[in-house]
Amino acid sequence: MSVKKVLQYGEKSLREPSKEVHKVSKKIHELVQDLLDTMYAKNGVGMAAPQIGVNYRVFVVDVSTNNEPLNPLVFINPKIIKKSGAIIAQEGCISFPEAYTDVKRYKNVMVKALDINGKSFVMEAKDGCLLARAIQHEYDHLDGILFIDHCVNRFETDNILSKHNLPPVEADRLIEDPVLDKELESKND
């Protein structure tokens, strides 16, 4: 279809929760193609509908590397049904050009969603792999949550954001996840 304008951090609609898709229609097929076109044009690993200003629970991911064929994955109305373990890893986002910071994520996730044909599927991603982190990152976009809300160090993240002329972390949006924090603490003992 076409490469769309990507909303940048600070635009209000990135913080709004998305609506469920009721029918995998031609419109949704076009949205998925726009997401893929935009993600590939921006050299991204994932792209969620809210990032191009569309308020639907849809995201795409492709974790293939340079020497592998493209392997686009489509998630419509996803739900994370299981999560465990913990990892700290550096993340960025197409809505935050060039800004990367350490975030807390679950190491293993299981997600249930519809594919491009409206068929239900379950996928598991383990061991803190890029796919596991990308699923969580894009899933968050559907709830108006951004990767910086999971940052390890708010002040370090603020410094990184200011270097890229982006607004600071919104302290009231930082995610409190006692289960994840406990997992991370047990790794440091």
Known catalytic residues are 138
Please tell me the predicted confidence (pLDDT) of residue 94: 96
Residue found under tokens 């999560």: 83
Domain boundaries, the chain: 12-188
For residue 49, how many other CB atoms are within 10 A of its CB? 26
| Intra-chain end-to-end CA distance of the chain, in Å | 51
Residue indicated by tokens 């603490």: 185
Choices 3.90.1170.50, 1.10.510.10, 3.90.1150.10, 3.90.45.10: CATH for 12-188: 3.90.45.10
> Residue 171 has what pLDDT?
94
- Does the model's pTM come out above 0.75? yes
DSSP string, 111-175: EEEE-TTS-EEEEEE-TT-HHHHHHHHHHHHTTT--GGGGBS-HHHHHHHHHHTT-PPP-GGGPP
Classify burial at 92, counting beta carbons within 10 Å of its beta carbon; exposed 0-12, middle 13-18, buried 19 or more: middle
What is the per-residue pLDDT for 1? Answer: 67
**SS3 label, residue 62:** coil
pLDDT values of the chain reduced to their tens digit, one per residue, 189 residues = 699 999 999 999 999 999 999 999 999 999 999 999 999 999 999 999 999 999 999 999 999 988 889 999 999 999 999 999 999 999 999 999 999 999 999 999 999 999 999 999 999 999 989 999 999 999 999 999 999 999 999 999 999 999 999 999 999 999 999 988 888 888 766
